[in-house]
Structure 1
């Protein structure tokens, strides 16, 4: 089969690799019909290569048609249309029984002290071959795959794999109440959907911060008040003005370690990515290398006794956090990988009708063949050609 493989920092290519096969009785094989590029894939492309091997298959936002299932997989069968959650969860362990599927104890990568295994996401998370490929082996398929109906194009359901469920969790973790004001930092795919979901669940005012014109325009189409941080020097001050001096009830930080505005940390991150793998891993483990600009905006913009929900991915172990300010303001912090199956049943009914209450049909900007994946990574990384979300078609 053909698959998108990591070949080195800033270098991916589509190669011919062996077809996957059933290895465990809880496995399934799907023929991938659509697979998206996630913003966190860019971390592998640029920064986290020390945790990858040449030839690793990337991608964790796939859906497709079931080809074959192992003997212990009974809730799906050959021919079913399914979405595959990005985290691999058993559904019955201590963590899964409590709804913490991203911490599944059956697939935890204990060697590296990490949570549940993820598709296509480094040795830290199990080095499981990813979904930017023609076919995908799905471990723990007795629980993970989400069966979806016919009647809509893939893109209506595809984002249950990550974007929709991650965004839904971000809003839930932000403790958004009806009538609240919510600030979303970063209007990439996760920020876009977090803002829309916050409005859908009753927020009165949702403010989005970004610098990319196409992202700002997309957010405005869905009733989001936008702040262009290239035009406003002091975003927290602008948020205070919009909230009568109080600050946002909740902030969803959807940027992560790619935030701008912190040149020293940006240089440190780049330098860490250029080191030999062993030294780079040590730097990530012991030195604060994240760009903290978006987090600082979030902390300064939230009201006293408010909540910050961190959904952007961070990789540093020694990042400077303004603990005195957070303690004084009584801020609640919540964060983590999305527990996909915890939220998918709540979201699926919003996708199956003829209406589109979350605006899912207005997210994808580029649909490209899998063979053009290297080009897709480049335009997504550089935000060229109005690129906000790419779906690859194997």
Structure 2
């Protein structure tokens, strides 16, 4: 089969690799019909190379059609249309029972001290082959796939794999009450969708902060009050407080993460790690790694006293300095973590009807064949050609 594989920093290729096989009676094989490129895939493209090996198959936002099932699988059958969550979760352990599918006890990577495995996302999370490919082996065939109806286009459902539950959890963790206010830092796919969900759930003011014109324009069209970082003449916190009676918003969603703008020292350190041997780079990242924290520090400034910060952007630093005095003084509540996809599926599915309340159809700015995946990564990383969300068609 053809698959998009990692070969080094900023080097992804479409290779011919062996087709996946049924390995356990609970496995299924899915023929992929649509698969997204996620903002967190850019961390693999740019920063997390020490945890990858040449030939690793990328991607964790797939959907498709069941081709083959193991002997123990009864919940789906060949021909069924399914979305595959990015969490590799069993659905039956204690953590899954608590709605914490990203912490699945069956797939936790205990050798690394990390949570549940993820499709297409490094040795830190199980080194499981990803879904930017023609076919995908999916374990836990009775519990993991999300069965969806035939008929509507893929884009109606494919975002159930990651974008929708991640954005939904971001808003839930932000605890935005009806009539409340929220600032969303970063209007990429997750931030954009989180803003839409907050508006849908009754927020009275959603402020979106970014510096990419296409992202800002798209958010404004959905009713978001936007702040362009290139034009804000004052501190972002001051600009937000002017819009909120001097307080700041009730909540802030950090949808940026480790690669924020405005942190040249941390950026240089991240780039340096990329040139070190993998074993040394891993030790450095795990014991002394730092992130670019401009977005998180902005969130701490922007949120009102007694407010909540929801971190959905990926961070990976081991020794990130945090302004705990300010956080304590402002009585900030902080929530974060990988999205627990199945925890939110039943809340989201009713919104994916013909009314398309969240605007999922047309959410992708680019739809390309799998063979154009390497060029899409380059364009997405450079924020060129108005690329905000890309779907690949194997």
Q: TM-score range by the shorter chain?
A: over 0.9
Q: 1:266: Cα distance to partner?
A: 1.0
Kindly provide the CA deviation profile for residues 322-342 of structure 1, in whole angstroms up to 9, marking residues without a partner as x.
101011111100000000000
The alignment partner of 1:344 has SS state of: helix
Query: What's the counterpart of residue 230 of structure 2?
Result: 230
> Given that residues 59 and 132 in structure 1 are in contact (C-alpha distance below 8 angstroms), is that contact kept between their aligned partners in structure 2?
yes
Kindly provide the CA deviation profile for residues 3-41 of structure 1, in whole angstroms up to 9, marking residues without a partner as x.
001011110100000000100111110000000000000
The alignment partner of 2:117 has SS state of: coil
Q: 1:188: Cα distance to partner?
A: 0.2
CA distance in 2, matches of 1:276, 1:27: 36
CA distance in 1, matches of 2:283, 2:314: 19
CA distance in 2, matches of 1:248, 1:37: 31
Query: What's the counterpart of residue 292 of structure 1?
Result: 293
Query: What's the counterpart of residue 250 of structure 2?
Result: 249
Aligned length: 393
Query: What's the counterpart of residue 70 of structure 1?
Result: 70
CA distance in 2, matches of 1:72, 1:185: 45
Query: What's the counterpart of residue 11 of structure 1?
Result: 11
The alignment partner of 1:260 has SS state of: coil
Q: What is the TM-score normalised by the length of structure 2?
A: 0.99
The alignment partner of 2:307 has SS state of: strand
Q: 1:71: Cα distance to partner?
A: 2.0
Query: What's the counterpart of residue 50 of structure 1?
Result: 50
Query: What's the counterpart of residue 27 of structure 2?
Result: 27
The alignment partner of 2:301 has SS state of: helix
Superposition pairs of residues 87-98 of structure 1, within 5 angstroms: 87-98=87-98
RMSD: 0.8
Superposition pairs of residues 211-230 of structure 1, within 5 angstroms: 211-230=211-230
Query: What's the counterpart of residue 302 of structure 1?
Result: 303
The alignment partner of 1:321 has SS state of: coil
Q: 1:229: Cα distance to partner?
A: 0.7
Query: What's the counterpart of residue 174 of structure 2?
Result: 174
Query: What's the counterpart of residue 334 of structure 2?
Result: 333
Q: What is the TM-score normalised by the length of structure 1?
A: 0.99
> Given that residues 266 and 289 in structure 1 are in contact (C-alpha distance below 8 angstroms), is that contact kept between their aligned partners in structure 2?
no
The alignment partner of 2:274 has SS state of: helix
User: Is 1:204 matched with 2:215?
Assistant: no
CA distance in 1, matches of 2:127, 2:250: 39
Q: 1:212: Cα distance to partner?
A: 0.1
CA distance in 1, matches of 2:85, 2:135: 15
> Given that residues 251 and 302 in structure 1 are in contact (C-alpha distance below 8 angstroms), is that contact kept between their aligned partners in structure 2?
yes
> Given that residues 288 and 320 in structure 1 are in contact (C-alpha distance below 8 angstroms), is that contact kept between their aligned partners in structure 2?
no
CA distance in 2, matches of 1:349, 1:147: 14
Q: Detail structure 1 runs of 4+ shifted over 3 Å in the superposition.
A: none
Q: 1:349: Cα distance to partner?
A: 1.1
Kindly provide the CA deviation profile for residues 160-212 of structure 1, in whole angstroms up to 9, marking residues without a partner as x.
00000000000000011000011000000000000000011110100000000
Q: 1:151: Cα distance to partner?
A: 2.5
CA distance in 1, matches of 2:346, 2:178: 22
CA distance in 2, matches of 1:317, 1:174: 24
Q: 1:282: Cα distance to partner?
A: 1.3
Query: What's the counterpart of residue 269 of structure 2?
Result: 268
CA distance in 2, matches of 1:26, 1:309: 35
Provide structure 2 residue ranges, at least 5 long, that are not aligned to the other structure: none
Superposition pairs of residues 349-388 of structure 1, within 5 angstroms: 349-351=350-352, 353-388=353-388
The alignment partner of 1:319 has SS state of: coil
Q: 1:72: Cα distance to partner?
A: 2.1
CA distance in 1, matches of 2:304, 2:85: 34
Query: What's the counterpart of residue 312 of structure 2?
Result: 311
Query: What's the counterpart of residue 325 of structure 2?
Result: 324
Superposition pairs of residues 148-159 of structure 1, within 5 angstroms: 148-159=148-159
Query: What's the counterpart of residue 140 of structure 2?
Result: 140
CA distance in 2, matches of 1:325, 1:150: 52
CA distance in 1, matches of 2:267, 2:140: 38
